[in-house]
Structure 1
Amino acid sequence: MPEIAEDEPLPVEALAGYQGAGRAWVAVDGADCAVGYLIADFVDGCVHIEQVSVHPDHGRRGVGRALVDDVAVVAGSAGIPALTLTTFAEVPWNAPYYLRLGFRALDEGELTPGLQAIREREAAHGLDRWPRVCMRRDL
């Protein structure tokens, strides 16, 4: 799975699209330098976390948790019922991490049409070479 761990972040243009749509959150350090970000979309009435990325020098300091929690507050305040995401089931900084953040794995029968479509796209891109899971955090 090295090709996943070494995957490059999204291009600046793609990130700017999320920012322009109000669907990007950025964490900064004391010098106001970006150290992490979260981008999201709306899927079936929920906020779907597309990506959380934290610079390795700032890992294990709660940056990712803070980003997810900030999104949860904003979404909950807007009356959105849940956060969703898809991730690798067995990578320690993926599904096990999100379980600690209050997400739960969804059974196949719980997948909404939008989540099913995301999983189909992921499979088409070869991500199903490793076990994947859809997760949800009720707000």
Structure 2
Amino acid sequence: MSDFRLDDFLPYLLNNAAESTGRAFAAHYREGYGMSRAQWRIMAHLGVTDRLTASDICLRGYLEKSKVSRAVSGLEEMGLLTRTRSTSDRRAEMLSLTDKGREVYDDLATQAQVFSGKLRDRLGDERADQLAGLLRDLTDPAGD
């Protein structure tokens, strides 16, 4: 019999922590705006960066191209983002938030800061900073 313990397997613990916290925050964008997780993540990236291609969002957010495509269409139908042809690459479309999208992003970003603050309170500042650093280390592709 193996010594393997699922409860000690770091990828399992990371996934469970991400799912638990992600589901807890989902109420804000699902109930408040009828958005999916992918739509919220796209909004978050565009809120910080202003203009990105769908490919950029896939890379930055570790999202599948098909999920991004569906999410972008939904956000466009809701009037939250627009697409314009890239001036540097005619095959690409630049995505950006509309004024309404910016308002929604600002509201959700405020709620995200409050949510994050509650997690920090739960862990304490030192442990929260440590965890954030460790997670960035694991996400950094140079660490492979």
More strand by share: 1
TM range (shorter): 0.3 to 0.5
TM-score (norm 2): 0.33
More helix by share: 2
TM-score (norm 1): 0.33
